[in-house]
Chain A
C-alpha cells in the first residue's frame, strides 16, 4: 500500500494524474494500429477495427476485414468488408457501428457485424467523395459530419431522424482544412475549422472568422484541435508547439502551454473529470504522450526512457510510458489508451482519493483508513487515530470519503479496504444513514462483474452513474448477455417491468431468430421462461418472429398473448384474417372487429367474405348494421348468399317504402311476396299480397273519389269510405278482404257515428243480429253526445249489460228496474252510486227496498 501513489503524476500544484491498465489485450493484433481504421465507443464500449483498408492494395487475399472487439480484446464478430472504400468508422450512442464510405453512404451494423440499414449523406458526395468524416453525439442523438472533396461540410445531427444540412461555403477554401471539429452551442451544431493561421466558424447560414482570445500572435498555424466530451472546452495546437486551451465559445481562455514539439500530433483529446477545476489535454504523437494543463510543466511519455517511476519530488517532468503505437479514446472522466498489448485508463485522481492516499495526508478519510488497518493489527493506535478524527468531529466525513473513494478504485482489494474502513468508522457514529454505503457496495459489485474481461465493459463509477443502470442493462442485452443482465436486475431489485421482463422480452426476440430449433421448441422455451411475467408483450415477440419469416412460430407465440387486441393487427399482417376475426370478436372490442371485417372485405372475394361472416354472427351483425345505413345493396347480397329469403322479403318491403311510384312499390312488394314464399312464410306472403291488392285498390279509389287513400290501413280505408258514404264500395272491401264481422261492425258504427248518419246506423243495426251486441251502439252514440239515439239501442242490449247501458244513456229508472230484475246487488249498488239524492230519490228508494228484500232472503 505504501507504493499506492507510485503511478501518480502531479500536474501543477494540486492535480495528480494516473494511468493504470484495464486489460491486457488478447486480440493478437499483428497489424499496427496506425494501419487500421479504429473506432472505440465511449463508456467502455466495443472497438471496431478495419484492417487492410489501404487504398492501393486490391488483391483479393488482402480484402479489408472488419472486426469488432470488446474493450478487453475479445472478438465479438468479424466480416470481410465487401462494400466501398471506408473513410471513417464510428459508434452511435446505442452502440451501433457506423461505416462511412467514400461515396457518402453510411452503413449501420450492430455490434455483431449484422447489417441493419444504410443511409446516404447526399448526392453531392457521389462525385466529390468524402475526404474526412466525424461522428459526434449531442442531445439529439448521434450525428455525422463530412468534409467533401469540394471542401464543403455537410452534417446531420441525428441519424435516426435524418435531416441533412449543407453548411455554407468557406470563402477561398482551396485545400482541405488542417483540422476541424464539430461543436454544439445552445443546441445548434456548428463546425470549427482551421486553415493555416485562420479559424472559421460555420453555422447554419454563415461563415465567420474567429480569433481565440489571448492567442499568442506568434503561435503559428493550427495543426490540431480537440473539443471536450461535454463540448464546453476547446484546445488548439499550433505548429510552434503552442497549445491554447479555452472555452468552446471562444470567449475565454483557460490556459496555455508551450510543448516545444513542432511536429503535428496524431491525436489530441481532453482529459478532465466532471466538477474538477483542472483542465488538461492529452496529446499523442507516434511515440510520445503528453499531459498538458494549467501549469508550466507537463507530463510526458515517450519511447526511449527506461524509467517508469519518477519520485515525485525529483523532477518537474513526469512521463507516462508509451512504448507502442496507441489510440486515445476520450471518456467523460478521463482517456482510455489502446495499444496492441494493453488497454489503459488515464485520469485525474479524484479529490476523495487524493485526500486519503496523498502521502502524509491528515485528512479524516486517510486517518480512518489507518485506524482500521491498526485495528486489524490489534494495535491501540487504532484508537488514537479514531480519537483524532472524532475530536475534530469529522467522523461522518471520514466515512463518506472512504465510501466515495472506494468507487474510484478498480482493484477489488483496494475497494474492500476502503469499504472496510468506512464500515469500521460507521460503528462509532450514531444513526449514520446506511444508504450510501449499501448503494456503493451494490454498485461496485455490478461494476466489478461487468469489468470482468469476459464481459469487457470497463466502466468507471462516474461513467456508470452517468450512463444509468437502465442503459447499462440495454448494453448487456445488446451483447446478448441476458443472464448477467437478469442477475443484475434481481440483485438491484429493479421493478419487473423495467427490469427482468424487459430483458426476457429481448431474449425472446433473439430466441425467435434461432433457426435451428423447431417452432414448438422455441415457443415452448419462451413461454417456460416468460410465463405471465408482467409487462411482457408476446405480440412484440411474435412480430419479431414474423419479421424473421417464422409465421407459424408467431402464431404460436400470439396464443400466449393475453390481450386479444394486441393479437389482431399482427394476425392481419400475417394474413391470418379468419383467426384475426375470431380474436377480435373474443376481445369484445367492436372497433377491432370492424377493422378486421373491412380488411377481409378488401382481401377476400365477395363470396368468401360473406361465407366467413356467416360463421361469425357477431361480425355479421356488425357488418349488417353498417350496411343497413351505408350500403343497402350489399345487405341484399348478404342475404342472397345465405339464402335468407325471409330477410330478403323484409328487405324488399323496406325498399318499397322509398319507392315514389305505385308501380315501383308494387314491384318491390311482389319481389317480397316471392321471397316470402321461398322462405315458406305464407303468412307474410299473404299479408304482402293483400297489401298489393289494397294498394291497387287505393289507387283506384284515389282516382275515383279524388281523395288521398294511399297508405291508409285496410281498416282506415273502409272507415273513410263509409264516412264519405260509399257504402257499396265498403261492402265490397269487407268481402274482398274477408274482414271479420266483429271488426266490420265496430268499424261501421263508429264511422257512421262520426259521419252523424244515425239513420244508416239504425238501418245497419237491423240488417242482422249484431256480432258485437248492442252495447257498442249505445256507447258510441253516447260518445257522440247523442243520447236520443243511444236510448234506441239500450233495450236491445243483452240483459247482462243492460244496466250498464241504461246508466250510460242516463236512464236510471230503467237501470234500476233492470238491476232489480236481475236481483244483482252489485248492479244495484252501481246504480245507487250514480243517483243523486236531490233528483232521483224515488229510484233510490226503490233500489234500497229491493236490496233490503234481497238481503233478507
Chain B
C-alpha cells in the first residue's frame, strides 16, 4: 500500500444485545398469556428463533410446539399462541382454527404475536373472517438478527418480491424501525448516504420516526458513524453472476440458511447430514470465506499439513507432556480437524459440480456478457443451455444477465428464448416471464409506444406532491439498466496486463475472478471516498437518481474516533456473499469496517425463485 500507514479496521460493535433484546421481549410476550399453552411457529421464524433462544426459553409454560402449516392443528391445549409473520395466508390459517373451534363449541384463548410488526391488512382479514374479537394481538419487534459479527439480517426474503415486483410498501416501515433501533443502540449515525427509491423512503420514514420519538442520542458515544442505504435494483448484475468466493459458492451449492448450512452425506462422507454454523467463530471458515475458490484448496491442504504436524509432535513426548497435550491442545485440534475435514469435503463436492467443462464455459459466457462481446455466441450458449434442460433457474439467470447487460433482448431472441424455455421447463413460466418483465430483469429492446405511454404516466405523477415517494409498479418498465454505460463510467471491468493475481488481489474484482468489480460495492466505495455524490452525477443519472447524502454535525477527518470508520451497508432487497466479501476486502484496504444490514441474504437462485409464479 501507499506511504500512508494502513490502519487496522476497527472492531465491529457487539451486536449480541440485539439478540438479548429480542429474547427478553419474546419471553415477556409469552408471559402475557399466563398458564400452559401450545405455541405455533411460522416455519421461516424457526431458524431465526433458533439463533436467539434455545428451546428452554420457548418452553416457557409452553407444552407443545407446532409449525404453522397447511394442516389442521392437533393441539388440545386451552390456550394457543401463534408466533407469525404478518401474512394474509397465515391469518386465514389461524382464522380457520378459531372458526373450527367455534363450530364445535370449543372455547380457547388465542394470541397472535406478529414479528416484526403487525399490519393493518392482517387485522382486516381477521375481521373479515369474523375472529377479530376472539384473538389478542401483540408485536414482537424482532427486526434485526445478527448472523455474524458483521452481518445483520432482517430475515425478510419476501421483501424483494413484495417491494420490487408488487410495489408493496409495507416493509419500508419495518426497515425504518430497524434503522431506528440500530441508531438508538449504536448511533447516532453522523453520515447517511443512499441511493434508490426504497432507500430514500426508508430514510425519510426513519427520520420522521426519530423526530416523533424525540429521543436524542446526544451524549452517547456512537459506535457506528456512517450508513449507506442501497436498493437491490440499483445493481441486479452483481447478484446474477455466479459466485466464486468460497462463502458464495457454499451458499450457491448448499444454501446457507440463517447463518448455518446442512452438509449432506456427500460432504460428511458418512450417512448423516451435519448442520454447521458458518461464522467468524469457525477458525477455518473465517480464513477462507472471502477467498477466491482457486486459493481455497491450497490453503486447506496447507492447513491439514500443519495440523498433522501438530498431531505428530506426540511422537517424541514423555508422559507429562502427553498429559498436557491431551488436556489442553487435543480438544482444539480435534475441533479444528473436524471443521477442516468438513470444509475439505465441501470443497470436493463443489469441485465435482463446478469444475466440469460446463461451469468453465458458463463463467466464460458470463464474463463475455459483462464485457459486452460475443453476444451472439453467448446467446446460442444460453439457448443450448435451455434446450438441454440443464437447470431452469440457471437458464433463467443467464437470460436475465443477458437482458440486463444488453439493455433488453432484441425482439427475435426475446421470443425464441422464451419459447424454448417454455418448451423445456413448462408453460407455467409464462407468468414468470411476465414478472421478470415487470421488474425489469428480462425485457425486450423496444422503444415502442407502450414505453412512452408509461413514461408520460409516470411524469404526470411526478407533478404530484407525493411523487417523490411513489414507486410506480410500471416504473421498472420504463427503466433501462444502462449497465454498459455505467460499467464504462466506473471502470467496472478491470484492465489488467497478464494474469489477474487471485492470491493477492489488487481490487474488489477478485470476487469475480478479476473480470468484474461489483457495481454495488463500487458505488459504496466511490461515495465514501468522495463523501457524497459530487462527481458521480452521470452515474446517478444512469441509475435513475434518488440519491441522497446527509451529514449531521459529522466530525471532521480524524475526529470522532473509530465510529467514523464503521459503515453500515444496508441492502434493501438482499445482498450476496460476493458483495460482502468485496466490501470486507475494501474495508481491509481502507482501514474501515463494514457492517452488513440486509433484508435477507440473497443469491441469483433466490432472486429467480422469487420471480417464479407458484403453481398453487
Using a CB–CB cutoff of 8 Å, the interface residues on chain A facing chain B are 563, 582, 585-586, 588-595, 598, 617-618, 621-622, 624-626, 629-630, 646, 650, 653-654, 657-658, 683-684, 687-688, 690-691, 694, 711-715, 737, 739-740, 742-743, 746-747, 750
Contact = CB atoms under 8 A, between A and B. Distances in A.
B198 to A, nearest CB: 11
Contacts of B88: 626, 629-630
Nearest to B458: A617
A740 B473 CA distance: 36
Given A582-B464, A688-B427, A740-B420, A591 B120 contact: yes
A684 B430 contact: yes
Nearest to A658: B616
A625 B161 CA distance: 11
B120 A595 contact: yes
A588 B469 contact: yes
B173 A590 contact: yes
B381 interface: no
A740 B166 CA distance: 35
Nearest to A629: B88
Interface in B165-219: 166-170, 172-173, 176, 201, 204-205, 208, 212
B466 interface: yes
26 contacts: A588-B204, A590-B119, A590-B120, A590-B170, A590-B172, A594-B124, A595-B120, A617-B472, A617-B473, A621-B166, A621-B473, A625-B121, A629-B89, A629-B92, A630-B92, A650-B434, A653-B430, A654-B613, A657-B615, A688-B430, A691-B430, A694-B427, A713-B427, A714-B427, A742-B383, A743-B387
Given A626-B88, A657-B428, A588 B173 contact: yes
Contacts of A658: 616
B151 to A, nearest CB: 27
Contacts of A595: 120
A594 B423 contact: no
B171 to A, nearest CB: 9
A588 B166 contact: no
B419 A618 contact: no
A754 B120 CA distance: 55
B423 A715 contact: yes
A464 to B, nearest CB: 31
B125 A630 contact: yes
A70 to B, nearest CB: 39
Contacts of B431: 650, 653-654
Contacts of A743: 387, 420, 423-424
B128 interface: yes
A618 B471 contact: yes
Contact of A742 (B204, B384, B471, B474): B384
Contacts of B339: none
Contact of B469 (A585, A694, A739): A585
Q: Which 8 A-B pairs have the closest CB atoms?
A: A621-B167, A629-B88, A591-B120, A713-B426, A691-B427, A743-B387, A594-B120, A714-B423
A590 B426 contact: no
Contact of B474 (A617, A683, A747): A617
B7 interface: no
B197 to A, nearest CB: 11
Given A683-B419, A713-B423, A713-B424, 12 more contacts: A586-B466, A595-B120, A617-B470, A624-B166, A625-B170, A626-B88, A630-B125, A688-B430, A690-B422, A714-B427, A737-B423, A750-B388
B468 to A, nearest CB: 9
B124 A598 contact: yes
B422 A594 contact: no
Given A585-B466, A588-B205, A746 B387 contact: yes
B162 interface: yes
Contact of A589 (B173, B388, B472): B173
Interface residues of B, number: 56
Interface in B82-137: 87-89, 92, 119-121, 124-125, 128
Interface string B465-502: 11001111110000000000000000000000000000
A646 B450 CA distance: 13
Contacts of A712: 426
Given A618-B169, A629-B89, A630-B88, A687 B427 contact: yes
A690 B176 CA distance: 47
A630 B472 contact: no
B423 A739 contact: yes
A618 B615 CA distance: 26
A626 B389 contact: no
B418 A683 contact: yes
A528 B580 CA distance: 52
A39 B167 CA distance: 65
A742 B389 CA distance: 13
Contact of A715 (B121, B424, B430, B473): B424
B168 A585 contact: no
Interface string B375-390: 0000000011001110
A588 B201 contact: yes
Nearest to A742: B387
Contacts of A690: 422, 427
B419 A687 contact: yes
A513 to B, nearest CB: 29
B599 to A, nearest CB: 16
A33 to B, nearest CB: 53
A582 B463 CA distance: 13
Interface centre among B172, B205, B387, B434 (most CB of A within 10 A): B387
Contacts of A593: 169
Nearest to B444: A683
B325 interface: no
Contact of A591 (B119, B201, B426): B119
B469 A622 contact: no
B470 A585 contact: yes
Contacts of A622: 121, 168-170
A563 B212 contact: yes
Contacts of A590: 119-120, 168-170, 172-173
A715 B169 contact: no
B611 to A, nearest CB: 13
B503 interface: no
B616 A713 contact: no
B616 to A, nearest CB: 7
B89 A713 contact: no
A654 B428 CA distance: 8
A594 B419 contact: no
Contacts of A654: 431, 613
Contacts of A591: 119-120, 173
Contacts of B613: 654
B427 A683 contact: no
B428 to A, nearest CB: 7
A490 B205 CA distance: 34
A646 B430 CA distance: 12
Contacts of B422: 687, 690, 713-714
B119 A588 contact: no
B425 interface: yes
Contacts of B616: 657-658
Nearest to B204: A588
B274 interface: no
B60 interface: no
A582 B469 CA distance: 11
A593 B89 CA distance: 20
B291 to A, nearest CB: 25
Nearest to B163: A621
B427 A626 contact: no
Interface in B404-418: 415, 418
A654 B208 CA distance: 40
B153 to A, nearest CB: 22
Contacts of A742: 383-384, 387
Contacts of A653: 428, 430-431
Contacts of B453: none
Contacts of B387: 740, 742-743, 746-747
A457 B464 CA distance: 53
